[in-house]
Structure 1
């Protein structure tokens, strides 16, 4: 059996649970659109298009993880580092919708599940890790690369656990839940390492050439401390 992580096909999760997560993902994306309006400007808007195009292209390239198991970049952490959590979630969602409608990559009835896992959970977990690590690691291209590597691994595993939860709610096969959880976690640790290396290389390169285009560098870099104004000495008549 060939397993391609981690798009969910039609019929893996039953209809009611799939419909529930379709509604949830739609509401989550509407919230992201609302929050992203404050971030989008003349610099971030074209960057978002480039990020979505890059994720789309790289997701089309699968790499072998284990015999019979292949994986590809999810892109959540890469997106939040470059364009922030709200715009990043929209970038990943756009890629998933195009892949589903044009290439049948992931089932149509499972689109809400896939968006929830990869665009919502994956980006949220990645952003939380990035926000924490950027406060303790150097705000340099190398530090950003290490941050992207660690956050990618955790983000990918978190996204896979979203599927485990959905399968627990409405899985249509008779697989043991501990087996599903263990298989998903172990497989996606390896996928996360591959994704992390790609994300780390990409964001470190961009940060080295154009740090002003990297959301995480702007968001978490401490502003320069202003020099204190010289004290005014008032003189009086003797």
Structure 2
């Protein structure tokens, strides 16, 4: 999903750069409502996990491989605004120090992976939570659904950017078919990874999962959290 340098023309890259800068500025302000003593350390762990996860590619066929986008995962764990910041930091490090995605395409990548993937994934997660039973076991399933939806939507948005400012002589219909086709398959892998990670965290420390806040916990299903321990301490 990383857009390389030169794939989009200068006006499109400048426009997405402006959108990315505005999105990050808003996220910096909005994330204050999401960050607390539990979320702040978790945000660092999420950024590190996504960075490592994007280094691992899995085959999806015909010589094509996919990797974790991490938008839905980050949004569910630490909130969409903080998640967008986590993904943006990962993309900046990759572009500046690993030549992954390109400097001129950084704005496009932040828009696609940091903003679209996070907020579409979180919206799909919230929609799924309205349908599923209101219990902790539903959170990983809803997170997996959010991941599954976010990847092809981000691919479709990229196709729209390519239609406006694509610099490669490729038929737009072929680009749309390839992007949606392969990224639907990649989305399945994203959903599996996201569901497993969220399930592991929910199973051990549900209080660390932003998307699980406010969901009643069944008695005896987990060890008491630090907050709960303080409440019963005389």
Counterparts of 1:168-183 in structure 2 under 5 Å?
168-183=163-178
What SS does the corresponding residue of 1:37 show, helix, strand or coil? helix
2:97 aligns with 102
> Is the 2:136–2:216 Cα contact (8 Å) retained in structure 1?
no
Q: What are the superposed Cα offsets for residues 72-123 of structure 1, whole Å, 9 maximum, x if unpaired?
A: 0000010011001100100111111111111101011000000000110111
1:131 aligns with 126
Choose 130-139 or 76-85, whichever is displaced more.
Answer: 130-139
Query: Structure 2: how far apart are the matches of 1:111 and 1:66?
Result: 27
Among 138, 143, 147, the alignment partner of 2:142 is: 147
> Is the 1:48–1:83 Cα contact (8 Å) retained in structure 2?
yes
Query: Structure 2: how far apart are the matches of 1:191 and 1:46?
Result: 29
List gaps (5 residues or longer) in structure 2.
Answer: 218-234
Q: Deviation above 2 Å: which 4+ runs of structure 1?
A: 138-142
CA RMSD of aligned residues (A): 1.3
List gaps (5 residues or longer) in structure 1.
Answer: 1-5, 224-238
Counterparts of 1:214-229 in structure 2 under 5 Å?
214-218=209-213, 221=215
Counterparts of 1:28-39 in structure 2 under 5 Å?
28-39=23-34
1:218 is displaced (CA, Å) by 0.1
Among 154, 161, 171, the alignment partner of 1:159 is: 154
Query: Structure 2: how far apart are the matches of 1:60 and 1:133?
Result: 29
The count of corresponding residues between Structure 1 and Structure 2 is: 217
1:68 is displaced (CA, Å) by 1.8
Counterparts of 1:73-92 in structure 2 under 5 Å?
73-92=68-87
1:139 is displaced (CA, Å) by 3.6
Among 185, 204, 216, the alignment partner of 1:190 is: 185
1:146 is displaced (CA, Å) by 1.4
1:71 aligns with 66
TM-score w.r.t. the length of structure 2 is 0.90
